[in-house]
Structure 1
Amino acid sequence: MLSLQRFEAAVPAVVPYRAAAPRAVRWEVLHADLGVELPPDFRALAEAYPSLLVQDFLELETPEPGLESSFVADVRDLTVIVKDLSEAGLAKGYVPYPEPGGLLGWARSNCGDGFYWRTWSESPADWSVVVSGENDDWSEYAMGAVDFLAGIYRKDFKVGGMPENFPSDNPDVVALLTGTCQAYMRRR
């Protein structure tokens, strides 16, 4: 829960979108469809928030209760990108999930950047974050997704290949309805 509080402190504009009660995500459905449990910090985020668009840049998709298969489809779309890059020799040695240590997507930007977990440990709580920038910038961070988000929005570190104005001092946030992330990307 501390990760979630750090993220909310770094991006106060998310707080109005926080659910009054935990969202009833069917984690067993996601586990069955993906073949792996998702990290506990991300689960806490998804139980507290719908999908979000932060700073008109970062699409943070969370599973919608009852529509978990839509989230699985988005995760698989991101994984296909890693597969294609890996097969083309452009993934800097990273491989797609379900290969051992493979990358499993959790967010994207409207500029073509991908945000992944590197599934190197049996415990999802140990997974690191990998960012694939649009310009072949790859970076890895030994932290969970929510701590990563808090860190970039607190400006604790810079992520290579990100736009000059990222992150802004007061990022705005918009809640996205299920499927809105994909529709938004098609418009760009």
Structure 2
Amino acid sequence: MEELIGTQKPTHRVLDPGEAIAVLERAVPGLVALRRQEAAVFDWRAVEEEAGRALPSDFKSLAEWYPAFGLDDFLAVTLPWPGDEVAGAEAQGTRSERWSCDHPADLRPAELISTPLMTWGNSTEGDQFLWSVLGDDPEHWPITICSRNGAWWHYEGGMVQFLAELCDGALEPWALPPVKPEITGWAVEGGGWQQRA
């Protein structure tokens, strides 16, 4: 059985997706170079149908303005590509393969055995970044981190705010290395990945 080491809370919970993205852009200045000129249009109904539930608005807003990206050659933030929602989902496998945590329930901390977990990011070292699906309101799902060394922890803010606070040092990176606010790769049209030159 794995260990749940605790929960961190932001000083101020940012609920507005636009404000959360602005906080992330301040924390990771190089991100702005990837910002689209106009918000991309997604068939969110199709994405959410494939996911099996509604998704948090900060995640959707981030995907509308940015491609998937990597931070510090460590953390990959997985976002859908506009216009390729269904094909991208099919290429990544079934709903359970794409969105669900691949950590077996019997190896999770006792508090999380019956909690549905949805993946939104991962690290090059095997850490997983998830939402704990607690209730029907995705705006209040906590972020759950499953570290490669068996430590689990929660963050009681949104995914975008978590990224900002992880990069700017506002939260303690329990069981993770410090993450520099540096963009090291991003998704490009057609399913490729561009590394920073």
The reply to whether TM is greater than 0.5 is yes
Q: Does 1:58 align with 2:75?
A: yes
Q: Does 1:79 align with 2:91?
A: no
Q: Does 1:18 align with 2:35?
A: yes
Aligned residue type for 2:49: A
Post-superposition offset of 1:80 = 4.8
Select the residue among 148, 153, 162 that pairs with 1:139.
153
Q: TM-score, normalised by structure 1?
A: 0.83
Post-superposition offset of 1:121 = 2.1
Select the residue among 46, 49, 63 that pairs with 1:46.
63
Aligned residue type for 1:150: A
Q: Does 1:102 align with 2:116?
A: yes
Check 1:14–1:31 CA distance in 2 against 1; reply closer, same or farther (3 A cut): same
Select the residue among 160, 163, 176 that pairs with 1:162.
176
Quote the Cα distance in structure 2 between the aligned partners of 1:6 and 1:71: 29
Superposition CA RMSD, Å? 2.1
Q: Does 1:34 align with 2:46?
A: no
Q: Does 1:3 align with 2:20?
A: yes
Q: Does 1:117 align with 2:131?
A: yes
Aligned residue type for 2:46: V
Post-superposition offset of 1:174 = 2.0
Quote the Cα distance in structure 1 between the aligned partners of 2:133 and 2:101: 16
Gaps of at least 5 residues in structure 1 are: none
Bigger fraction of residues in strand: 2
Secondary structure at 1:81's aligned position in 2?
A: coil
Deviations 1:62-121 (A, max 9, x none): 110122132573774362513xx21xx2211324xxx6x411110001110000001102
Quote the Cα distance in structure 1 between the aligned partners of 2:74 and 2:89: 19
Aligned to 1:172: 183
Aligned to 2:9: none
Quote the Cα distance in structure 1 between the aligned partners of 2:96 and 2:168: 30
Task: Within 5 Å, give how 1:84-95 maps onto structure 2.
Answer: 85-86=104-105, 89-93=106-110, 94-95=112-113
Quote the Cα distance in structure 1 between the aligned partners of 2:89 and 2:31: 20
Aligned residue type for 1:20: Q
Quote the Cα distance in structure 1 between the aligned partners of 2:30 and 2:77: 14
Post-superposition offset of 1:159 = 2.2
Give the number of the structure with larger relative contact order, counting CA–CA contacts within 8 Å between residues 6 or more apart.
2
